[in-house]
Amino acid sequence: MKDKIMIDIVSDVVCPWCIIGYKRLEKAIVEMGIQDKVEIEWQPFELNSNMPVEGENIDEHISRKYGTRQEDNTRSKAQLSKLGAELNFKFDYFDTMKMPNTRDAHILIEYAKENGKQTEMNLRLVEAFFSERKDISSREVLIQELKRIGLDEKEGLARLENESYREQIKVNEAVWQNKGVRSVPTIVFNAKSALTGAQPIHVYKQVLADLIK
């Protein structure tokens, strides 16, 4: 195989199934020993693009959006925590946890891509939200996380304050929506085939093995 497998991961940083899907994909890649044969890019998808600045209590948000009961939410969070632990990822849900607006997060993820640190930035923000009880809609938090991975704080802040970068996220999202992406995670292989949802590790292995042939 001469060319790398190009993998686009359409996701949001507040989507628990997105990090589970990624971790399973990552495990498949590592177990197959093909880290040097794949290239990953993250593509934006805002689950709640109209979320106000103050956010919304996560349980209330999920119940309102999906019509679930509190006991359903509790059961779902327990399941996610178990699945996360199996992949060495910590879901730390707490009573006052809020669902934030993620537009600024996606702007910084795009900025990080230009510096070869997109995956690092994405995972940093996911961990900050799910594992460290941080408000990733806060500019202060976002800049702190940007600095943690060694990127320029002034340039990052300038991006956040520039309306054109905010609009570009919407344009990028529309590109994938026009390709039929309606839910996340959607993982696209070589711009030809796609898997939706967090698939089992063996499914990712099969797709990757077919592409390597």
Dist. CA 84–CA 91, nearest whole Å = 7
Counting the structural domains of the chain, the total is: 1
Give, in order, the Cα–Cα distances in Å from 141 to each of 104, 147, 157.
11, 10, 11
Give, in order, the Cα–Cα distances in Å from 153 to each of 111, 131, 150.
11, 23, 9
Contact (CB, 8 A) for 9 and 17: no
Q: Express each pLDDT in 76-120 by its tens digit.
A: 999 999 999 999 999 999 999 999 999 999 999 999 999 999 999
CA–chain centroid gap for 23, Å, is 11
* End-to-end CA, the chain: 7
The string over 113-135, giving b where at least 16 C-beta atoms fall within 10 Å of a residue's C-beta and e elsewhere, is: eeeebbbbbbbbbbbbbbeeebe
**CATH value at residue 206:** 3.40.30.10
pLDDT at residue number 67 = 96
pLDDT at residue number 213 = 80
Mean pLDDT of each 10-residue bin along the chain, 213 residues long = 87 98 98 98 97 96 96 97 98 98 98 98 98 98 98 97 97 97 97 97 98 89
Look up the domain containing 141 and give its range. Answer: 5-212
pLDDT at residue number 1 = 46
pLDDT at residue number 189 = 98
Maximum Cα interatomic distance, the chain, rounded to a whole number of Å: 51
pLDDT at residue number 3 = 85
Contact (CB, 8 A) for 138 and 29: no
Q: What would the two tokens of residue 112 be?
A: 């990080």
What stretches of the chain adopt beta strand conformation (E)? 5-11, 38-44, 56-57, 98-99, 186-189, 193-196
- pTM summary value: 0.96
Give, in order, the Cα–Cα distances in Å from 83 to each of 22, 78, 155, 167, 198.
12, 9, 37, 35, 11
